[in-house]
């Protein structure tokens, strides 16, 4: 979730990111620094409220003059365009802006209190609100944006005279108003600021994200035959006229070019699928897969760290790993590239137009030349020159009547009649 929020910040055009964590959250610190190496991570030693949390990052605010926005690591569905809307409000229209939403059930939320002109005058936590204020349905998301020059002074004057004895970021609104500063509100859909505080809410947020991604894909010209069964990542890139069948999972880093078809029950991760290619059903594309135009990868085929050039085929029951398959090559059923010797991975090169017969094992490192024909059932461990025929089957040993004689002998041994 933190990664998603940080990515939203980056996509919104924010140049500097500071993350505030609680003591002992080393895993979160490590994750934040891995996502954005230039991030500043600060520890809020005591949990004394939202304003206190922001002040934990006061070092990041030193000599800071740009606009600032406060986001939350448990609110992963916020859109970059919403962040830009609230930042764009700063300047002539507002010195401080708050992101709000109309809640179906406002219970538990802070309320945005406005005057007759709709101007924001205060944010009231529910425990501190009057009965009349609790009837307000315009609620506080927690997202605040400030003109940078005002932020430190506003934060340092926030007190803790409230029911919880905490330093509320929301009190900045009334302080700003008292200073004659302008305040504003941007309203977004409630689901966009959905907070995640349990596994149930995490599943609800994921479902909302999937619905959003599916809708965006279909609006961009992608056909999802059963949208509710397709799972996407925020970085999934699907071209126009791509068709995705039922029960397909896209992991991170997948691009599918226009006209391709991803058939049912396939799983793709860090893979590129070329134009008019067909993948599946029941195919798995692992990281490093590069499929060219019109490639066919069929049922129960696994491809990993391999390139398959235009028009090549592996239609069923095949493993292609650490390999390059040339254009128009055909990989027969049951073929495997034996890429791992127990210590290192090795490459397999299959030339253009090669025909690899069914149930073949290619022991890497190995190079199969252009146009080679490999007989079914072969095990190859040496390079094969272009246009050769190679077969490594053992000689046929046929013994007529052997099976009948053996059955008779064994039945007699058990005391049974023939």
pLDDT tens track for 256-295: 999 999 999 999 999 999 999 999 999 999 999 999 999 9
CA distance 289 to 305: 5
Q: Are 145 and 282 in a shared domain?
A: no
Average pLDDT over residues 373-398: 95
Q: Is residue 79 part of a domain?
A: yes
276 phi and psi angles, rounded to 5 deg: 60, 15
- 29 near 21, Cβ under 8 Å? yes
Examine the domain organization and report whether 363 and 255 are in the same domain.
yes
Same domain, 171 and 242: no
Write down the pLDDT at residue 293: 98
Q: What is the pLDDT of residue 416?
A: 61
Length of the chain: 418
Query: Residue 370: exposed, middle, or buried by beta-carbon count in 10 A (0-12, 13-18, 19+)?
Result: middle
132-155: per-residue pLDDT in tens? Answer: 889 999 999 999 999 988 888 898
128 pLDDT more than 90: no
Give the CATH number of the domain where residue 160 resides: 3.90.550.10
- Known catalytic residue: 316? yes
What is the number of structural domains in the chain?
Answer: 2
The predicted structure's pLDDT at residue 234: 93
Range of the domain at 243: 199-390
323 versus 155: which is more confidently predicted? 323
Catalytic residue among 52, 267, 272, 316: 316
Instruction: Based on the fold, state whether residues 351 and 215 are members of the same structural domain.
Output: yes
Give mean pLDDT, residues 206-232.
97
Question: Same domain, yes or no, for 247 and 110?
Answer: no
Q: How many CB atoms lie within 10 A of CB 110?
A: 25
Distance CA 325, CA 329 (A): 7
Confidence of residue 415 (pLDDT cuts 50, 70, 90): confident
The tokens for 331 are 């990989």
* CA pair distance 200, 113, nearest whole angstrom: 31
Residues 166 and 227 in one domain: no
pLDDT at 417: 56
Claim to verify: residue 356 and residue 377 sit in the same structural domain: yes
At 278, list the tokens. Answer: 């067909």
pTM for the structure as a whole: 0.86
What CATH number should be reported for the domain holding residue 381?
Answer: 2.160.10.10
Boundary (domain end) residue, out of 193, 218, 243: 193
Is the domain of 151 the same as that of 39? yes
Domain assignment present for residue 408? The answer is no
């Amino acid at each position: 979730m933190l990664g998603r929020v940080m990515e939203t910040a980056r996509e919104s055009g924010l140049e500097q990111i500071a993350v505030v964590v609680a003591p002992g959250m080393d895993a979160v610190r490590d994750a934040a620094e891995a996502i954005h190496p230039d991030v500043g991570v600060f520890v809020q030693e005591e949990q004394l409220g939202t304003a206190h949390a922001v002040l934990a990052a006061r070092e990041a605010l030193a000599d800071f003059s740009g606009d600032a926005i406060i986001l939350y690591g448990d609110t992963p569905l916020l859109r970059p365009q919403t962040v830009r809307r609230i930042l764009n409000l700063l300047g002539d229209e507002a010195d401080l802006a708050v992101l709000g939403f109309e809640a179906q059930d406002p219970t538990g939320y802070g309320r945005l209190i406005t005057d007759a002109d709709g101007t924001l005058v205060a944010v009231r936590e529910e425990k501190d609100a009057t009965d009349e204020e609790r009837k307000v349905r315009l609620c506080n998301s927690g997202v605040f944006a400030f003109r940078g020059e005002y932020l430190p002074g506003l934060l340092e004057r926030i007190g803790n005279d409230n029911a919880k004895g905490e330093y509320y970021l929301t009190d900045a609104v009334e302080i700003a108003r008292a200073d004659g500063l302008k305040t504003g509100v941007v309203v977004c859909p409630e689901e966009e600021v959905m907070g995640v505080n349990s596994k149930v809410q995490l599943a609800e947020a994921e479902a909302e994200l999937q619905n959003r991604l599916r809708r965006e894909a279909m609006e961009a010209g992608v056909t999802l035959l059963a949208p509710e069964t397709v799972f996407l990542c925020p970085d999934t890139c699907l071209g126009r006229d791509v068709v995705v069948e039922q029960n397909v999972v896209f992991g991170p880093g997948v691009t599918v070019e226009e006209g391709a078809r991803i058939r049912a029950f396939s799983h793709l991760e860090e893979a590129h699928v070329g134009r008019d290619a067909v993948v599946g059903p029941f195919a798995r594309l692992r990281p490093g897969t590069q499929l060219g135009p019109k490639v066919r990868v069929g049922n129960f085929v696994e491809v990993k760290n391999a390139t398959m050039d235009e028009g090549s085929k592996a239609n069923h029951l095949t493993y292609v790993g650490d390999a390059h398959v040339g254009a128009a090559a055909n990989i027969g059923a049951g073929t495997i590239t034996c890429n791992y010797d127990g210590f290192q991975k090795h490459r397999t090169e299959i030339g253009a137009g090669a025909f690899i017969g069914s149930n073949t094992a290619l022991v890497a490192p190995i190079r199969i030349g252009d146009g080679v024909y490999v007989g079914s059932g072969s095990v190859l461990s040496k390079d094969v020159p272009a246009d050769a025929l190679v077969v490594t089957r053992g000689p046929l040993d046929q013994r007529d009547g052997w099976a009948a004689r053996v059955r008779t002998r064994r039945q007699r041994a058990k005391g049974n009649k023939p």
